[in-house]
Chain A
Amino acid sequence: MINTLSRLRGAGLVLLAMTAVFGLSGCGNAPTKAQGLRALNAAYDEIRLRENTAVASVPIGAGANVAPGTRQQVQLALKSIEGPVLVAVVVDEDQTAVLGFAGQNGPYRTWITGSRQTLVTRNGVLTGTRGLGFDLMSSEATAAMNLVTARRSGSVERIYRHIDGENHEVPTRMTCSIGPDGAETVTLLSGARISTTRMRETCVAPDLSVSNTYWVSGSGQIPQSRQWVSEQIGPVVLQVLRH
């Protein structure tokens, strides 16, 4: 499960105070009554889970680490999940998830974890996430994707959209320079080895600079990538284990 409740440590105290305010709650089946304690408990559990997750991990490349034993879990998942399989590592949290295929809408593929978190990719370029909290709502990345998959250099416009604390979608218009950065043979968690061209994308906006790295195969596919989600979540490393 991907668990990316960032910036939570300071929230514990406030949450305790909120429990005092909202916590007067009990039982029943009324949808909007007496649910304070339940919701705050759930929030508290998520914080605890976040804080207590073991951090012992092994590197898998692209700057990401996975917990020992993940390889075996991935092998199992490859056997039990039918169809395409994606592995995602939230780098800052050392959290790994195996995602199955949830649907395709035109060029967009939606991948889903067992705990109903989703990632959306377009030809391997991440354009959305859901269920992570500080999600990437959508991204206009057609021009970037075209350069990356063609392994060409250039500068393009790209829009990242996030949601803020007031339910407003906040678009960030970025200028991205894209170019090759050498050849590399990628070893996937499934054991497959693929020779790729490493493509770097650096995007800048007035107050923000982010970078993405794509390992692009000879056929223009992206078996491995490290892509930015949001300021709070940071980058995820993706490996497409089965197309």
Chain B
Amino acid sequence: MPEQRRKATRRTVAAVIAVYGAAYPVGMSAEPMVTSSYNLYGVPGLLEMPTAENARDAELSGSFSKSGKQNRTTLTFQFAPRLSGSFRYSKIPNLDIDGDDLYDRSFDLRFQFLDETKWLPSMAVGFQDFIGTGIYSAEYLVATKTFWEDVRVTAGLGWGRLGTGNEITSFGDREYSTDSNGGTLEFDRFFTGPVGVFGGASWNATDKLTLKAEYSSDAYLIETEHGEIDIQTPWNFGAEYRFNPGVSLSAAYLYGSEIGLQLNFTLNPKDPLLGPGNEPAPAPIRPRPPRGSDPAAWSQAWTADQPRKQQIQTVITNVLSKEGIEVEGMSMSGTRAEIRIENNQYLAQSQALGRTARILTRALPASVETFTITQATDGVAETKVSFQRSDLEQLEHASSQAILQRAVFADGAGPLPADMVRTPGYFPQFTWYFAPYLDYSLFDPEDPIRADFGLQLGAEYKLAPGIVATGTLKHKLAGNIDQIDRDPASALPPVRTDFAKYSKATDTYINDLTLAYYNRPIKNVYGRVTAGVLEKMYSGVSGELLWMPVDSRLALGGELNYVVQRDYDGGFGTLDYDIVSGHASVYYDFGAGYMGSVDAGRYLAGDYGATLQLAREFDNGWLVGAFATMTDVSAEDFGEGSFDKGIFIKVPLAWASGQASRSKYGTLIRPLTRDGGAKVNVRGRLFGRVRDTHQPEVEASGGRFWR
């Protein structure tokens, strides 16, 4: 097909999407088409073919499937009601260059651009394996329509892998050869080459059982060439059984010769496992007697009574301590009280504020009308929130919005109020923990999951406000990360690819040992300096500034590091690689749970570039996001993967346990660890550290204020 025609057809495809997209904009009142059924590629669909369906908004699925000889492990996240992203790790036998098994990582995106109406089907466009090495690369346009409530019929056009069978036309030639490095977005390739037609139907026979049949447009060209599969028919048949809303099992008979099996797990960050939390009830507000009926109670004589003031402060400090809220200090006058707290218990800062306010109404003399609660971390003030006591009394049984609308948020920066009485013995503070740890390394072709298991001893010593010494010592008991034998030739200094050498050299090592100083140089600005053993691979000094007003969705930051690569033996010794790295950052909260950031600067290997990060945040503390770093390192020098990218997930313990806790479990999945676009890991980066106490975050979880 001539180039012109190819372009024209691609323009047509784009135009169709644009027209539908404009006619049915995202966010209109119609509902996206939702299913709980996933295909063997771990995305909503039939068996091997996709559909125009979506998972329920925010659903996260982990799918383990076997399609003939191929194993696929897929993580799919419904990022928005009509937009999903997937990461897949596959094992394709004997297909690599030397006849080895091919381990392939692929990313998918799918967008449902048209909602189903009475007459029109739901329609979606999808990009399969769009930045991988390309073995699964395909694009598709697909339509799905519901009939008789429980039957859905799908028809679609596929390009790339999905255009290898049932060819109806061709959009020019397609570059099929897989890119050895992978990782490059090849826009030129999208919607080119032969176009295959596919389709099928699914029938929800019962609530638990779905039966499926499909006509596949994947001819398994390369696999057939290698004699790995014997395609006898494009027809596939299968059934899916749902044990409960979170677990399903599918079996399929594929291509007249192969068996497909799949186990699929789903969960939704919007649904805490054990409900919104089983913490004990808060203390009720204690209203004051009316001034007219008991004028003596309203007297301000208590302000001159030092022992009484001290007793009030002690009671408040002790009661709040039982709630997991530590009081750093208080100041009291006839009509005002300020309390500085550190919340160690509640994930939602609003809940700590509510509980503190409740206790203040129970302990402070009636004349105190204004409460100011300053939220602090390690003795450094962040945001302060002021309440009128009359409002708290009046609105205890009203909506949480009502009280938050009357709350006044302000920056807590500045010197400690002169009359603030510190809690005796608040500094220094020593805490420690001893626990097992699990480190893992993913996607090594020899052994896709490697892990080290051991014990760690952690300690933290808060010497004075903002001055914190932290350290972690680790001892490996068992593991196989040290057996990684790949020496990926890198054109860059081995700033990250060296990681296995650290596991090889020693079982006992200092994971980190730092002295950090956090402060508030001026209003709206946070500062940090950290020095020492920063992480497993680097020692050095790191400085950071963050501008983040109390009510702002925008924050700006800058970080500058001088780091030296540590010796492999886990002690204080260093290698002869040192570098100045750092970046300027922009963080923006788009609202509705979407958050983005850009870091631009110099990375560990001396490369310059930027990291783009996009995440879906949930007000219960969940976070699911993806990042990509592009630097001036060429794809060839970078090596396999072409650029650094990955996905990250954070799960709050409170979500999983129903118990009040600030703990979160975070994981970051990088398809490949390379040396380009690498950053040093420093504890206590400011944005994540201070953000929770700011107005937008407090308000977002405001439903917990009266809890």
A-to-B contact residues, CB < 8 Å: 5-8, 10-11, 13-15, 18, 21-22, 24-36, 39-40, 42-43, 46-47, 102-106, 108, 110, 112, 115-118, 120, 122, 127-128, 130-131, 133-135, 137-138, 140, 161, 163-171, 232
Contact = CB atoms under 8 A, between A and B. Distances in A.
Nearest to B244: A10
B399 interface: yes
Contacts of B703: 137, 163-164, 167-170
B707 A130 contact: yes
A117 B283 CA distance: 10
A33 B281 contact: no
Contacts of B277: 133
Interface of B: 244-247, 267, 270-287, 324, 344-345, 348, 350, 393, 396-401, 431-438, 455, 458, 460, 618-620, 651, 653-654, 656-659, 661-663, 665, 700-704, 706-707
A30 B458 contact: yes
A163 B401 CA distance: 12
Query: Interface SS of chain B: helix, strand, loop or mixed?
Result: loop
Contact of B662 (A32, A34, A128, A232): A32
Contacts of A28: 431-435, 458
Query: Interface SS of chain A: helix, strand, loop or mixed?
Result: mixed
A22 B324 contact: no
B430 to A, nearest CB: 8
B435 A133 contact: no
A170 B399 CA distance: 10
Nearest to A21: B665
A30 B460 CA distance: 8
Among A104, A120, A128, A131, the one with the most B-chain Cβ atoms within 10 Å of its Cβ is A131
A111 to B, nearest CB: 10
B620 A166 contact: yes
A242 B645 CA distance: 65
B362 to A, nearest CB: 9
A102 B358 CA distance: 13
Contacts of B665: 21-22, 36
B231 to A, nearest CB: 37
A144 to B, nearest CB: 15
Given A31-B345, A138-B706, A164 B436 contact: no
B286 A103 contact: yes
B285 A26 contact: no
A206 to B, nearest CB: 14
Contacts of B286: 103, 105
A105 B657 contact: no
B658 A167 contact: no
A133 B274 contact: yes
Nearest to B393: A105
Given A39-B653, A103-B284, A167-B701, A134 B275 contact: yes
B276 A135 contact: yes
Among B279, B283, B433, the one with the most A-chain Cβ atoms within 10 Å of its Cβ is B433
Contacts of B455: 26
Given A11-B274, A27-B434, A163-B704, A36 B663 contact: yes
A166 to B, nearest CB: 5
Among A30, A36, A112, A232, the one with the most B-chain Cβ atoms within 10 Å of its Cβ is A30
B345 A15 contact: no
A108 B661 CA distance: 30
